[in-house]
């Protein structure tokens, strides 16, 4: 028996070609879902989908920039027409800009919000318009534990993720009458390319676990960095019927790094 009851459900995952997004895609497929993947990186997207199709997985690639609302609407219409009604949306796509505020350019700020905030808005708006008349659906947005405490050199990222988090909660409130649940999973440090880009050397993981007092960042009480599947497991739970009475929640998966705040 499928514990999470995903068999035959159609899921759309943004940013699904790598990192947490890829892990979410693989977890959904393993649970029986049909998956449509959106990602701006056409090469990585094509490589992943070819691999999954060789394994017999029901998955389709859609190279798209989610900050472009017209492109998003076109792709969502195509999925609904050619694949079927979208049951699950997972907003994973995100970009990271590490700059202190005094050094942030207009372009850095705008790009970060364009993907992390506006991108989640574009896809959620487009998909929810189809979900509303069906009175069914589940939307999960990947936030960040950086929305809970200030971070040095992470103003753009933290603020954009905070915007996406509150947007998802407001969306959940508006869509509750249609039996559509909207939740957030907020990872902490996770073993992905985005995390690796922050490390200065091979001791990067240990430095993250131990914390950095000079940038006001505590360590990780569980003494380990998350792996992408840790985040995917939380996403699958909230997306599934096992979370049938849960909406507008922000589930933090960070090994205790934000001390439950």
Delimit the domains of the chain by residue range.
10-189+227-251
From 160-164, 195-199, 206-210, the region with the lowest mean pLDDT: 195-199
Q: What residues pair up with 185 in beta bridges, in sequence order?
A: 142, 251
**3-state SS assignment for residue 93:** coil
Give me the CATH code for the 10-189+227-251 domain, please: 3.40.50.720
Give residue-wise pLDDT tens across range 222-255. 999 899 999 999 999 999 999 999 999 999 999 9
pLDDT one-digit tens code per residue, 162-171: 999 999 999 9
Place 217 in a pLDDT band, splitting at 50, 70 and 90.
confident
Residue 1, pLDDT score? 36
pLDDT, residue 261, reads 84
- Whether the predicted pLDDT of 147 surpasses 90: yes
As a whole number of angstroms, the distance between CA 188 and CA 144 comes to 6
Compute how many other C-beta atoms are within 10 angstroms of the C-beta atom of residue 47: 14
Count CB neighbours of 189 within 10 A: 22
Q: Are 257 and 189 in contact (CB under 8 A)?
A: yes
Q: Which two tokens stand for residue 13?
A: 């995952």
Active-site choice (3, 130, 157, 178): 157
Q: Which residues, in sequence order, are bridge partners of residue 250?
A: 184
Half-sphere exposure of 81 (CA within 13 A, CB side): 6
- The pLDDT value recorded for residue 206 is 60
Q: What share of the chain is helix, strand, coil (3-state, %, to 5)?
A: 50, 15, 35
Catalytic annotation present for 157: yes
Whose CA is closest to 166, among 140, 188, 184? 184
Asked whether 178 and 4 are in contact (CB, 8 A), the reply is: no
Strand partners, 253: 187
Residues in the chain, overall count: 261
């Amino acid at each position: 028996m499928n514990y999470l009851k995903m068999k035959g459900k159609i899921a759309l995952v943004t940013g699904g070609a790598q990192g947490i997004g890829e892990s979410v895609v693989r977890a959904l497929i393993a649970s029986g879902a049909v998956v449509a993947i959106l990602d701006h990186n056409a090469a990585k997207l094509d490589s992943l989908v070819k691999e999954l199709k060789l394994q017999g997985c029901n998955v389709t690639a859609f190279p798209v920039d989610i900050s472009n609302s017209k492109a998003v609407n076109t792709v969502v219409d195509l999925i609904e027409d050619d694949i079927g009604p979208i049951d699950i949306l997972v907003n994973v796509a995100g970009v990271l800009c590490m700059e202190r505020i005094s050094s942030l350019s207009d372009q850095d700020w705008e790009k970060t919000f364009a993907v992390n905030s506006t991108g989640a808005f574009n896809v959620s708006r487009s998909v929810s318009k189809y979900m509303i008349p069906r009175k069914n659906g589940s939307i999960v947005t990947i936030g960040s534990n950086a929305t809970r405490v200030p971070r040095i050199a992470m103003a753009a990222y933290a603020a954009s993720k905070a915007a996406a988090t509150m947007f998802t909660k407001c969306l959940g409130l508006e869509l509750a009458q249609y039996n559509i649940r909207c939740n957030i999973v907020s990872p902490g440090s996770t073993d992905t390319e985005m995390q690796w880009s922050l490390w200065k050397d091979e001791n990067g993981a240990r430095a993250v676990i131990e914390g950095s007092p000079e940038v006001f960042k505590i360590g990780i009480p569980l003494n380990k960095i998350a792996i992408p599947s840790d985040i995917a497991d939380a996403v699958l739970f909230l997306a599934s019927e096992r979370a049938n009475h849960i909406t507008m929640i922000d589930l933090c998966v960070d090994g205790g790094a934000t001390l439950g705040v």
